[in-house]
A and B are shown apart, each in its own frame.
Chain A
Amino acid sequence: MSSWLDYTINGLIVGNVYALVAVGLALIFGVSRLINFAQGSIYLVGAYVGWVAVVQLRTPLVITIILVAAISALVGLIIERFGLRPLQNSVRIAPLLATIGISFVLDQIVMLTFSPNPRALPSQLPDIRFQIGAGTIGPLDILIAGVGVTSALLLFVFLRYTKLGWAVRATAQDRDAAMQMGVDVNRVNQAVFGIAAALGGLSGMLVGMYYNQIDTAMSLQATLKGVVAEVVGGAGNVPGAVVGSLLLGLVESYGVAVFGTSYRNLFAFLLLIVVLVLRPNGLFASAKQAPPEPLTGTFIAPSRPVRIPRWALLTAVGAFALLPLLPVSSYVLQTLINAWLLGMLALSLTLVAGTVGQVSLGHAALLAIGAYTSALLSLDFSFPVGIAIICGGLMSAVLGTLLISPSFRLRGHYVSIATLAIGEIISLIILNWESVTRGPIGISGIPPLSLFGHELVSVAQVYWFSFAVMVLLALLQVRLLGSHLGRSFRAIRDDDVAARAYGLSLNRYKALAFIFGGFAAGVSGGIAAHLYSYINHETFNTQQSILALTVVILGGLGNVAGAIAGSVALVGLPEVFRIAAEYRILIYGIVLLLLVRFRPQGLLGTI
């Protein structure tokens, strides 16, 4: 029987592990005002380096720790040197997108090297428990606590008593002033990324040993938990990150004690949302200050959109509409159906992330809401499929907007964190709300697509249907962008302070954008549900959110034609080149990185 003390010890130990990730994030945020979404991937690398060392090389524990720290630090240095340093003078969105791209590339490399199957990571420590009061503690717990405390001490000594440590602190306080005083900011960045990566890697190894299991899905969870802890403590605040981590560990542990294991992450993300809404600067933030005045358009790359002549657009639409009449294989049509579905999601995301500047990383959740609504309405309430899909769109518009609304008061990178967390919360609710969503079993036997009672049997019919819906949504969006609302959305994206000073309510316009975009995404999810006939809580996952984001960046932020062209390109080209499925996400990540580096305004330009 587990005692309260056991849960407390467990919470503190887990919190200690989170602290190793969060402290790194805080250091990086401190010197470069960047939330490093690749931190979880380094954690993953650390876990697998640990596995190679323990299982294959059979190194003693001390050597394992040194190996893990060294290789992880090396990965961190490489990320800093080749992924981020070239972006130093680019717009603020660029490094954020770059760390997302790096994270996907690293995760995929690990997955391709080691396969996605879970592996055991033995801790090499004797399996004994010491009795402490009513609870017990094992040698691994002590090791984790030891690594945590030792790292904290070393970091303290480094920051307080070494010259490079002073440089790190000076850069964190005022980057420009530090540079003028001769601080080599690049060296500071290197040091910080190296330390952060070493800590992150160690954390991954320790967690692997703690649960005696590692798998490639650990990465995103670690990033999320680290970010939660860091934001709770106050972004950039190193001691705050430690306290935030311990608090997160305890909240999770007690949450599990009361409600059960499947609620663990739900508590973490709810804690994040509550803190972001009530104290967006963290629990230990100093007095609120007015945001600094930005230079013009510094978040999104300035660009002039490529104007596509109307006849070219009409020709393209006509050609795609007539395609099924030509002797093309159903494989081509199937591929394009996927492109149209992704296109609808990209339309939605390009409006939200591109036009209004709310870089949502949880956009697939809107697909899930639409898909579940449409599937359940048609199955349990015998709604006609067409009506059910429209209801799915509406539900996604309303519910999605309500759920995302806590993020409306946030800016920049925080929006991305919040939407990522909200996406995870929606997925967890779907998983846990079994009476409605059928939980982990998912929904099967969803009726196929039909229109006015006629089932769409042939591939060509499904193709026409999805293409028509997408074109319709695109036309609506173009009309929206041409109205005063389009102008207002873009004004909010470019400078929300000036926009407010001219009477634009941020809540109102962000909500309208999410309502409109939520509808398109919900419809896409609804059609997908009827097309797949089976969905579960993992059908619409973060990978799809990131794929959609890559499409949006590729096409040009806010660019309707770009979103559709990007979808065709990213769905179609891997098929044309017959690239195996497992390499595709790697390629999407690389495409994202190359775009951010060489053409941040996308192919067709920001609108």
Chain B
Amino acid sequence: MAEETNAPVGSRASLLSLRGLTRRFGGLTAVDDIDLDLAKGELVSIIGPNGAGKTTLFNLVTGLDRPDAGEVRLDGKAVTGFSPEKLAANGIARTFQLGRVFGNLSVMENVLIGAHTRLRAVKPATPLIGPLLELGLALLRPASVKAEEEQLREEVRGILARFGERLLPRIDQPAYSLSYANRRRVEIARALALRPRLLLLDEPTAGMNPTETAEMQALVTELKAEGLTILLIEHKLDMVMRLSDRVVVMDEGKKIAEGAGEDVRNDAKVIEAYLGHGLSQASADEQETAA
């Protein structure tokens, strides 16, 4: 078992590995016995019809939900059932399907929250003393804290610059006033501010027009080139095919196919999942009646 989880994928070490991950909601198994390995620097896409369990899988990896069975390892360390805040401190950042920005915070503040786990004032984890120290540092604000804040703000401007002129002119505007596409960008900027080891993107181009999608695709390509490990949920298949090292297909909670983009695209099970069970069921019924 240990041999298996620590085994390198290809020549690179595995950053994220899932074994037998399962989550049930009442009678529904949203995530069913999923195994998945993600090497450092790899970009893996998860595709599948709506309700296939992709977002639930993200929730399990990021600690927003707990698996009923199975194991999550990050860089060989078992992190199953860790709280989201602990996983964030371990370098996992994510974006959300519907765009969860902090509405009344400015763009700058939203992205600064992304850097929260890196703040010096937040570091002391000692119970009781740690939080009180944090309160003290926030009120007294010694030079080191001020310098850190200034440096982070500079860094945030750098991150926002990656989105061209989309966000920089709106840096002090509250997030609720942004367009839908800009909220998605703020989310990604916030995730980057965490300096993640693993980035999970949940449909980053949902609701974007072709130009915006192309921009987003260019950004993800850039991030990948910088060596960031990315797990991507995406419905736009040509984008998936272009970006991914590997594609995982989920349907009804199960992994039904995995491999290079082209192989997966021609997989019979995948076609069935996308065309719908009704259709294949109907054709099966037809054959039966014919027989």
Contact = CB atoms under 8 A, between A and B. Distances in A.
Interface of A: 286-287, 289-290, 293-297, 300, 302-304, 476, 479-480, 483-488, 490-491, 493-495, 497-505, 508, 511-512, 515-516, 606-607
A71 to B, nearest CB: 42
A493 B101 CA distance: 11
A491 B113 contact: yes
Top 10 nearest A-B pairs by Cβ distance? A297-B103, A503-B88, A483-B138, A503-B117, A296-B103, A494-B102, A498-B100, A302-B176, A500-B84, A485-B138
Contact of A483 (B25, B85, B141): B141
Interface in B100-124: 100-105, 109-110, 112-114, 116-117, 119, 121-122
7 contacts: A296-B100, A484-B116, A490-B109, A491-B105, A497-B64, A500-B83, A502-B116
A287 B25 contact: yes
A301 to B, nearest CB: 9
A488 B100 contact: no
Contact of A490 (B65, B85, B102, B122): B102
A321 B246 CA distance: 69
A516 B177 CA distance: 31
A286 B116 contact: no
B171 interface: no
B139 A483 contact: yes
Nearest to A501: B84
Contact of B103 (A302, A486, A499, A508): A302
Given A286-B26, A295-B98, A494 B190 contact: no
A560 to B, nearest CB: 14
Contact of B194 (A293, A479, A502): A502
B101 A296 contact: yes
B270 interface: no
Contact of B100 (A294, A484, A516): A294
For this complex, into which size category does the number of interface residues on chain B fall? Answer: 35 or more
A421 B12 CA distance: 56
A515 B136 CA distance: 12
Interface string B52-70: 0000100100111100000
A234 to B, nearest CB: 15
B104 A484 contact: no
Given A483-B141, A484-B138, A491-B102, A503 B89 contact: yes
Nearest to B56: A290
B185 interface: no
A488 B26 contact: no
B174 interface: yes
Nearest to A357: B104
Interface string B24-53: 011000000000000000000000000000
A494 B84 contact: no
Contact of B138 (A293, A480, A490): A480
Given A290-B64, A494-B104, A502 B26 contact: no
A290 B59 contact: yes
B64 A501 contact: yes
B263 interface: no
Contact of A495 (B26, B84, B102, B149): B102
Given A483-B139, A512-B131, A504 B104 contact: no
A500 B102 CA distance: 12
Contacts, number: 137
A512 B137 CA distance: 13
A500 B116 contact: no
Contact of B85 (A304, A476, A484, A504): A504
Contact of B134 (A287, A479, A485, A486): A485
Contacts of B110: 491
A606 B104 CA distance: 8
A476 B98 contact: no
B132 to A, nearest CB: 8
B261 interface: no
A498 B101 contact: yes
A504 B56 CA distance: 21
A304 B177 CA distance: 10
Given A287-B26, A516-B135, 9 more contacts: A286-B26, A290-B65, A485-B134, A490-B105, A494-B104, A502-B117, A503-B116, A512-B131, A607-B104
B64 A502 contact: no
A304 B173 CA distance: 9
B146 to A, nearest CB: 10
B18 interface: no
Nearest to A302: B176
Nearest to B135: A512
A383 B88 CA distance: 47
Contacts of B26: 286-287
Interface string B149-175: 100000000000000000000000011
Given A286-B26, A293-B100, A480-B139, A494 B117 contact: no
A485 B105 CA distance: 13
Contacts of A495: 100-103
A287 B66 CA distance: 13
B281 to A, nearest CB: 25
Contacts of B114: 502
Contact of B112 (A295, A484, A498): A484
Contacts of A293: 96-98, 100
A495 B176 CA distance: 12
A80 to B, nearest CB: 29
B204 interface: no
B72 interface: no
Contact of A501 (B94, B121, B131): B94
Contact of A289 (B25, B83, B116, B176): B25
Contact of A296 (B64, B119, B138, B175): B175
A487 B135 contact: no
Contacts of A493: 104
Contact of A487 (B100, B109, B183): B109
Contacts of A294: 100
A427 B88 CA distance: 40
Given A479-B139, A490-B102, A484 B93 contact: no
B81 interface: no
Contacts of A499: 102, 113
Contacts of A497: 64, 84, 96, 100
A95 B64 CA distance: 29
- Tell me which of A303, A495, A502, A515 has the highest count of chain B C-beta atoms within 10 A of its own C-beta: A502
A518 to B, nearest CB: 12
Contacts of B62: 501
- Tell me which of B101, B103, B141 has the highest count of chain A C-beta atoms within 10 A of its own C-beta: B103
Nearest to A508: B131
B139 A494 contact: no
A501 B64 CA distance: 8
Contacts of A297: 102-104, 175-176
B253 interface: no
Contacts of A512: 131, 134-135
A488 B135 CA distance: 12
A182 B3 CA distance: 59
Nearest to B30: A290
A504 B116 contact: yes
- Tell me which of B97, B102, B112, B116 has the highest count of chain A C-beta atoms within 10 A of its own C-beta: B102
Contacts of B56: 290
